[in-house]
Chain A
Amino acid sequence: MATRTDTSAPEGIKAPAKAIEGRSLGRIAWTRLKRDKAAMAGGITVILLILMAVFAPLIVGWLGHPPNEFHQDNSLLAAELGGLPRGDFLFFESSGISGDFLFGLEPQNGRDLFSEIVYGARVSLLIAFLATLVSVVIGSALGVIAGFFGGLADTVISFLMNVFLAFPLLLFAIALVGVLPDTAFGLSGNSLRIALLIFIIGFFNWPYIARIVRGQTLSLREREFVDAARSLGARGPYIIVKEMLPNLVAPILVYATLLIPTNILFEAALSFLGVGVQRQVVGEPGVTWGGLLSDAARNSVVHFMFFPGMAIFITVLAFNLFGDGLRDALDPKSKR
């Protein structure tokens, strides 16, 4: 058993030279994070977004109308159907925005845009989180194997990483989604699509995690506590799980947080291009922000572009702010 004289906190990121009052690195990181206003704002926004996705039906019941309800009789909407007048670039006149419809109405079919945005968070976050999980599992496993065992394993995995990193990924993902059937693996419709998107997005992004984990493992492998464990008779798997993994948690956490916004953008791009989750008229609506934007592009109605676009922007920005802050907080070398 390795005796680690310093704190039990992650060492993958070098521990500070002087431990102040014996605070653990986790505590120090938390203190730093709390002081970083931008990161905290990002974190709080993320939590609110998650709550919004989870309680979508409640929020819509309280502030909006069911996402599949059509409001075609709305007089404000009628003006819009005749084409948007030039000069109305502030869009409030013809969008149908009111206390009743907070973000206005979808042109032509008159669905409540607010409800659609709220429901859109569900698909977006679900896919982004689970796809990140897939990347983290594949990336950490392959990264540790490549870094720890070296040799042929490292050569093969590093080659694979280069192939993936130099791939026209979006093109491949689109091709892959486009070629798959409507029913497979006992799933059908949107549940199949969501599962496929999670797998595809996660599968294409593992090298980002693997590269970091491999690098960290390479340097950890040379550390004294690993030598100590080995000299006490510990085997590879034990060293990986008990000695390395705790030290890899921090970098994995940081890069997973930064991968989530990338995956949100990925999913939104696929939906924008029409190969994402499809709109349903019954049951779970399957609205996506990217899909709404793509409809908006066809209609050229500005409030309809603005709200879904802002939803993507705010979500991605919040995750980026939080991820950046987390990285700075966990990395004492950071100069900010």
Chain B
Amino acid sequence: MAGPAGLVCPAGPAAQAEIVVTFFIRRTIGAALMLLVVSIATFLIFFGLPRLAGATPETFAARYLGRTADEHTQQLFAEKLGFYDPLWLQYWNWIKAIFVGTDYDYGTGIEHCAAPCFGYSFRTNHAVWDDLLDRLPVTVSLTVGASILWLVTGVAVGVLSALRKGSFFDRAAMTGALAGVSLPPYFTGLMFLYFFSYQFDLTAPGGTYVDFTDNPGEWAYSLILPWITLAMLNAAAYARFTRAGMLDTMGEDFIRTARAKGLHERVVVTKHGLRAALTPIITIFGLDVGLLLGGAILTESTFGLKGLGYLAIDAINKQDFPQIMGVTMFAAFFVVVANLIVDMLYAVVDPRVRLS
């Protein structure tokens, strides 16, 4: 589609490059702005809202100290951790710590928290950043495997359905897809675990995860059910999108032109139809992958996979604020970056985007 779309843009190559650069800069600023909004929202949820609901600096300090600490210690800690500061200053210090690190003065000595500093967990006293990096491989493994699976099956089913619109295959596939989007992943996941792992012993039980570097075979074996569970939900949605997109594009004039030129039907479908129909799918795909990299909460908690999503739920249940704020920002970062990459790829592929 670069051909016909390229004709729309009257500018020469130099001017086009300039347009691309301005577009990229604009989008990058937009992404930074988005992260700023997310960080403010996160901060307000954890430090603004509880205040409205009646929390005091001392109760914040108590969260760090545990319930046994007396009032005096609480006040001392609230002072040290800056809970008496105005909200904007606390926000600023939080952001500053993320970019340049910070020093904690515990009275017994100064502890330095290096650059991406999200503070320390209430429970484990680990640096939140280390915990995040620790959990990342599980979530990445889950997301990468599942996303390949759902993209391939979803698009394939969608294309076949569109090409054989109204056929038995189409109706069966679309009924299946509608059922697929209506199935909650924790339900399918639990049923899969019960049958394939517990009853028939075909797959690994819940809670198992083997690192890829330890044993790739075991790694895949431990992840096969989570992959299928996560992929099923998305494959169904992608089949529906692809079918709708293909039906739209196959009705376009340029498809008729391609056919009129005498192109082979297979070339018409793959080179012209699919390429145009796939562009919006890739956008959604980028966003979905970004979203999942921040933690596939439901799948991870169903299968007891200790990834970022599991960490998030765990942290929330235990009211571990530094940790949950860290996960939220981490997740938002992935989403925003995925958004940015998709936008830029889009601009390269489809020149019309830059002009808007």
Chain B residues 275 to 312 lying within 8 A of chain A, measured CB to CB, are: 287, 290-291, 294-295, 297-298, 301-302, 309, 312
Knowing A171-B312, A172-B328, A179-B50 are in contact, say whether A274-B317 is a contact too (CB < 8 A): yes
B259 CB to nearest chain A CB (Å): 19
A335 contacts B313, C-beta separation under 8 Å: no
Check: B258 CB closer than 8 A to any chain A CB: no
Knowing A168-B291, A317-B182 are in contact, say whether A176-B45 is a contact too (CB < 8 A): yes
Chain B residues 313 to 328 lying within 8 A of chain A, measured CB to CB, are: 313, 316-317, 319, 324, 327-328
Check: B336 CB closer than 8 A to any chain A CB: yes
Give the CA-CA distance A70 to B313 in the complex, in Å.
31
Residues of chain A within 8 A (CB-CB) of B178 are: 317, 320-321, 324
Chain A residues 83 to 102 lying within 8 A of chain B, measured CB to CB, are: 86-87, 89
B187 contacts A171, C-beta separation under 8 Å: no
Chain B residues 219 to 269 lying within 8 A of chain A, measured CB to CB, are: 247
**Which listed residue, A163, A176, A268, A272, touches B37 by the CB 8 Å rule?**
A163
**Which listed residue, B54, B247, B336, touches A335 by the CB 8 Å rule?**
B247
Give the CA-CA distance A184 to B54 in the complex, in Å.
10
Knowing A89-B195, A89-B199 are in contact, say whether A170-B183 is a contact too (CB < 8 A): no
A166 contacts B179, C-beta separation under 8 Å: no
A168 contacts B184, C-beta separation under 8 Å: no
A32 CB to nearest chain B CB (Å): 17
B317 contacts A261, C-beta separation under 8 Å: no
Check: B339 CB closer than 8 A to any chain A CB: yes
Knowing A296-B190, A309-B187 are in contact, say whether A171-B295 is a contact too (CB < 8 A): yes
Give the CA-CA distance A240 to B290 in the complex, in Å.
38
A313 contacts B53, C-beta separation under 8 Å: no
Q: Considering only CB atoms, which chain A residue lies closest to B201 in the complex?
A: A86
B137 CB to nearest chain A CB (Å): 19
B229 CB to nearest chain A CB (Å): 13
Binds B, one of A126-134, A135-143, A217-225, A299-307: A299-307
Check: A174 CB closer than 8 A to any chain B CB: yes
A171 contacts B287, C-beta separation under 8 Å: no
B316 contacts A178, C-beta separation under 8 Å: yes
A175 contacts B328, C-beta separation under 8 Å: yes
A171 contacts B294, C-beta separation under 8 Å: yes
Check: B117 CB closer than 8 A to any chain A CB: no
Residue of A168, A179, A184, A305 most packed against chain B (CB within 10 A): A168
Check: B46 CB closer than 8 A to any chain A CB: yes
Residues of chain B within 8 A (CB-CB) of A306 are: 191
A166 contacts B287, C-beta separation under 8 Å: yes
Q: Mark B96-118, 1 if CB is under 8 A from A, else 0.
A: 00000000000000000000000
B336 contacts A86, C-beta separation under 8 Å: no
Knowing A89-B195, A168-B295, A293-B186 are in contact, say whether A184-B53 is a contact too (CB < 8 A): yes
Q: Which secondary structure dominates chain A's binding surface?
A: helix
Residues of chain A within 8 A (CB-CB) of B183 are: 313, 316
Chain A residues 139 to 192 lying within 8 A of chain B, measured CB to CB, are: 159, 162-163, 166-168, 170-172, 174-176, 178-181, 184
Size bracket, chain A contacts? 35 or more
A313 contacts B182, C-beta separation under 8 Å: yes
Check: A312 CB closer than 8 A to any chain B CB: yes
Chain B residues 144 to 178 lying within 8 A of chain A, measured CB to CB, are: 165, 178
B295 contacts A316, C-beta separation under 8 Å: no
Residue of B37, B316, B332, B335 most packed against chain A (CB within 10 A): B316
B191 contacts A86, C-beta separation under 8 Å: no
B285 CB to nearest chain A CB (Å): 14
A175 CB to nearest chain B CB (Å): 6
B184 contacts A269, C-beta separation under 8 Å: yes
Q: Considering only CB atoms, which chain A residue lies closest to B33 in the complex?
A: A159
A273 contacts B190, C-beta separation under 8 Å: no
**Which listed residue, A175, A300, A320, touches B316 by the CB 8 Å rule?**
A175
A305 contacts B182, C-beta separation under 8 Å: no
Give the CA-CA distance A166 to B165 in the complex, in Å.
33
**Which listed residue, B190, B295, B297, B328, touches A309 by the CB 8 Å rule?**
B190
Check: A125 CB closer than 8 A to any chain B CB: no
Q: Considering only CB atoms, which chain A residue lies closest to B175 in the complex?
A: A38
Extra 17 A-B pairs, beta carbons < 8 Å, given A171-B309, A269-B184: A166-B290, A168-B335, A170-B297, A171-B294, A171-B312, A171-B327, A175-B312, A175-B324, A181-B50, A269-B186, A273-B297, A274-B313, A297-B302, A309-B190, A313-B183, A316-B183, A335-B247
Pick 19 A–B contacts, CB within 8 A, sort by A: A166-B336, A166-B339, A168-B294, A171-B295, A171-B297, A175-B312, A175-B328, A176-B45, A178-B316, A179-B45, A181-B53, A265-B184, A273-B301, A274-B313, A297-B302, A309-B190, A313-B182, A317-B182, A320-B182
Q: Which residues of A contact B (CB under 8 A)?
A: 86-87, 89, 159, 162-163, 166-168, 170-172, 174-176, 178-181, 184, 261, 265, 268-269, 272-275, 290, 293, 296-297, 300, 302, 305-306, 309, 312-313, 316-317, 320-321, 324, 335
